[in-house]
Amino acid sequence: MEPSTLGREGEILARRYLERKGYSYLTGNFKRAHGEIDLIMKDRDTLVFIEVKTRRNRRYGEPVESVGFTKQRHIKYGARVYVNSHRITDTPIRFDVVEILFLPSGEVKYRHTRNAFY
């Protein structure tokens, strides 16, 4: 599976996983000049900007560890653009990371980190 295909599959699985937890899907792959937000969803009254990290193994560490300062800054920028362009006010926002790990057995592991960064 190509990396871009793996990432898209992870985003689909993450969306379904979060919808089962009661989240409402708003949009995905919100692109701006400095990056992209994988999923934008609502968790009750909170607007959630979600980074999805999909891996086949942990060779290079935990997937959440790859969401460093620069990536966080790009996601925050995209969130500001989204909020401003949709004239959203007085709505709490949060930044989450969903990790998808495809195990050799075929099993899929999920880990959801709420408030992964601020």
Q: Using one digit for the tens of pLDDT, what is the confidence trace for 10-31? A: 999 999 999 999 999 999 999 8
DSSP assignment string, the chain: --HHHHHHHHHHHHHHHHHHTT-EEEEEEEEETTEEEEEEEEETTEEEEEEEEEES--TTS-GGGG--HHHHHHHHHHHHHHHHHTT--S--EEEEEEEEEE-TTS-EEEEEEEEEE-
pLDDT digits (tens, 9 = 90+) for 92-102: 999 999 999 99
Q: What percent of the chain has pLDDT over 90?
A: 76
pTM, two decimals, is 0.92
What pLDDT is attached to residue 23?
A: 98
Question: Across residues 83-108, what is the average pLDDT?
Answer: 94
Residue 1 has a pLDDT of 60
Q: What is the pLDDT of residue 3?
A: 59
Q: How many residues does the chain have?
A: 118
Residue 65 has pLDDT above 80, yes or no: yes
Report the C-alpha gap between 27 and 68 in whole angstroms.
23
Structural domain of 87: 3-117
In the chain, the number of structural domains is 1
> Does pLDDT of 2 surpass 70?
no
For CA atoms 77, 61, 43, 40, give the dihedral sign.
Answer: positive
Q: What is the CATH number of the domain that holds 113?
A: 3.40.1350.10
Select the more confidently predicted residue: 59 or 113: 113
